[in-house]
Structure 1
């Protein structure tokens, strides 16, 4: 099978890989689509925490959707023909040689585990979030569900109060998801900080009640004009030291800086001279799969009710043969929303 491999120099290549082998508790999945994520970009640049130089070359991708083509003898949760979300290849091989795994969903085949086939507590963590998708969900758009589930689980983890103001920095797919899902979760005062008028208009469409263009407006001054005491929450959906430092000056007393964006470095310097006396810093870069799974039905319900449209989060859908070009555009910042690769 073919897969997208990142070599030790950070270069992407489509390479031939060994077919993954399933055990009696697993199902083999023919991949249909996979979304590009900021995590992929950070792994390519070799700055994602937990991935060491010795892990490369590795196979990329974690927002996959596919169709079950074979099941192990103990599998009851899946049947042939089911469309499933979140297949991985935890131990990819090339000519019998182990490669690293960046979850490996940019492959022609993947694996899902049947959590019910394992003794209690022994199933892989991802098994809880691997789900059969309703027939009504377009598999070409379905990778967006991974982002939405992760973001909703993070909103719940951050325990954001509905009656407080949330200022969201960023305008990519993750920031779009935060704005949309915060509003659907009942938060009425969501403010978006962006870097262009085009992005401001886009974030208004996703539900931001105010947008501040940081290239035209002094953000701290604008925030204090709207919220003299400051905001309870400032959410960094980018992963930027500069944003987190600016955020500290926007907080009300006992406010919180929330970081979900993936930082490009693992060391930062924070200046809290402009912060209130009391504040919190809360990082989440890796939502728990069990918590993500608990958000699955809610996201599907919003989609079924017409409150969410998966397509509105997507810039382009391209075939796997064009994956390298698609990644190049994404890494160069030429895509405004999510890019989906199909197989």
Structure 2
């Protein structure tokens, strides 16, 4: 069968190649790939700066944002042919650490976890793949056009879960939320904030086009320009850009008892001059919390699927700004100005 493979560490080595057909054993699902989402991690792997192949192999099948249809399911697995499924990206480490042992592999403490399409496990950008039922999440058939958003939404579901758990340290009644960055993660974070009945504001450098429209369509407020001009101090910030200067700005801009969740991963090196003394004083006296989050476990995937099922389907479809046929995969990796989420679609030619 055909798969999009890369030689990790070798820039621009990605290509479609013939690899062995997956053969399910008595405890695995066989899944036909319908769509694979593309994100910055995929571009970094193709660029040679990231990724590692499975043991004993020199290539890695790309793709960690999946949507597929079950072709074969073992009896008693809870899955049936025709089910729509999403693959969970991270698998627990083999030791395992305390977190992995209880299914919290997104919080792995020894770094020995593996990840589909990223770290020592083949990804989902192949015509078919096998996966154990415990690493597959069944989703609503109505999400057949947008189910590929479950993986990025799972990252946001975890972020919101941890925000709410931290908020329980005291009486907490958040009203205003600021999301920085109107990419897929930021827009899904805004959507989940709206679903929670919060007053959601999104800040981005883009002044026109689709992103401001998408924010307004779900009832949010869109801001651009200078962060300090938004006119309020948010109770919650979800920082989704990884831009160093903006990270420090949001840490200085939250309300007392506020929570800042960092989801964006910074790249490159840039020195900033920061008044750490004032930042520290404000955080201590304001009982403020800053934390980072990455990845997701099964609970978060299920929460993400539920959130998407409740959302406006047409709005979700508009997040997917380009659907690229598998044979033209390189187009999906090339950024375009109006992109939000780009998908490799196996159902179109």
User: Do the structures match in fold with TM over 0.5?
Assistant: yes
Which structure 1 residue ranges, 5 or more long, are not aligned? Answer: 91-98, 116-126
Provide TM-score, normalisation by structure 2.
0.75
Shift of 1:141: 2.7
- Asked if residue 165 in structure 1 is aligned to residue 176 in structure 2, the reply is yes
* Residues 1:30 and 1:154: Cα distance change in structure 2 (over 3 Å): same
- Asked if residue 136 in structure 1 is aligned to residue 142 in structure 2, the reply is yes
Q: 1:194 — aligned with what?
A: 204
Tell me, in whole angstroms, the C-alpha distance in 2 between the residues paired with 1:191 and 1:16.
46
- Asked if residue 203 in structure 1 is aligned to residue 204 in structure 2, the reply is no
Shift of 1:324: 0.9
Q: 1:107 — aligned with what?
A: 126
Q: 2:94 — aligned with what?
A: none
* Residues 1:47 and 1:255: Cα distance change in structure 2 (over 3 Å): farther
- Give SS of 1:239's match: coil
* Residues 1:54 and 1:335: Cα distance change in structure 2 (over 3 Å): farther
Q: 1:146 — aligned with what?
A: 151
* Residues 1:54 and 1:64: Cα distance change in structure 2 (over 3 Å): closer
- Asked if residue 59 in structure 1 is aligned to residue 50 in structure 2, the reply is no
Provide TM-score, normalisation by structure 1.
0.76
Shift of 1:28: 0.8
Does structure 1 conserve the Cα–Cα contact (< 8 Å) formed by 2:322 and 2:339? Answer: no
- Give SS of 2:256's match: strand
Tell me, in whole angstroms, the C-alpha distance in 2 between the residues paired with 1:24 and 1:270.
58
Shift of 1:16: 1.9
Tell me, in whole angstroms, the C-alpha distance in 1 between the residues paired with 2:35 and 2:197.
31
Tell me, in whole angstroms, the C-alpha distance in 1 between the residues paired with 2:30 and 2:246.
42
- Asked if residue 22 in structure 1 is aligned to residue 41 in structure 2, the reply is no
- Asked if residue 40 in structure 1 is aligned to residue 42 in structure 2, the reply is yes
Shift of 1:101: 4.2
Does structure 1 conserve the Cα–Cα contact (< 8 Å) formed by 2:28 and 2:131? Answer: yes
Tell me, in whole angstroms, the C-alpha distance in 2 between the residues paired with 1:266 and 1:23.
46
Does structure 2 conserve the Cα–Cα contact (< 8 Å) formed by 1:62 and 1:102? Answer: no
More off after superposition, 36-45 vs 274-283: 36-45
Tell me, in whole angstroms, the C-alpha distance in 2 between the residues paired with 1:136 and 1:241.
39
| CA deviation profile, 1:36-73 (whole Å, cap 9, x unmatched) | 1233234344556xx4699874221112111222234x
- Give SS of 1:257's match: strand
Does structure 1 conserve the Cα–Cα contact (< 8 Å) formed by 2:90 and 2:297? Answer: no
Tell me, in whole angstroms, the C-alpha distance in 2 between the residues paired with 1:236 and 1:270.
20
Tell me, in whole angstroms, the C-alpha distance in 2 between the residues paired with 1:255 and 1:274.
16
Does structure 2 conserve the Cα–Cα contact (< 8 Å) formed by 1:153 and 1:287? Answer: yes
Instruction: Please tell me the root mean square deviation across aligned C-alpha atoms, in Å.
Output: 3.1
| CA deviation profile, 1:163-201 (whole Å, cap 9, x unmatched) | 33221111111111111111112212x221111321434
More off after superposition, 10-19 vs 267-276: 267-276
* Residues 1:38 and 1:100: Cα distance change in structure 2 (over 3 Å): closer
- Following superposition of structure 1 onto structure 2, how do residues 1-343 of structure 1 map, counting pairs within 5 Å? 1-7=1-7, 8-11=9-12, 12-45=14-47, 51=51, 57-72=59-74, 74-86=75-87, 101=120, 103-115=122-134, 127=135, 130-138=136-144, 140-159=145-164, 163-188=174-199, 190-198=200-208, 199-209=211-221, 211-214=222-225, 218-220=226-228, 222-223=229-230, 226-227=231-232, 230-264=233-267, 271=274, 272-275=276-279, 276-278=282-284, 279-300=288-309, 302-303=310-311, 306=312, 309-328=315-334, 330=335, 333-343=336-346
Which structure 2 residue ranges, 5 or more long, are not aligned? Answer: 92-117
* Residues 1:265 and 1:25: Cα distance change in structure 2 (over 3 Å): farther
Does structure 2 conserve the Cα–Cα contact (< 8 Å) formed by 1:260 and 1:284? Answer: yes
More off after superposition, 263-272 vs 236-245: 263-272
Tell me, in whole angstroms, the C-alpha distance in 2 between the residues paired with 1:84 and 1:77.
12
| CA deviation profile, 1:282-317 (whole Å, cap 9, x unmatched) | 1011122333224433432x14xx477431211011
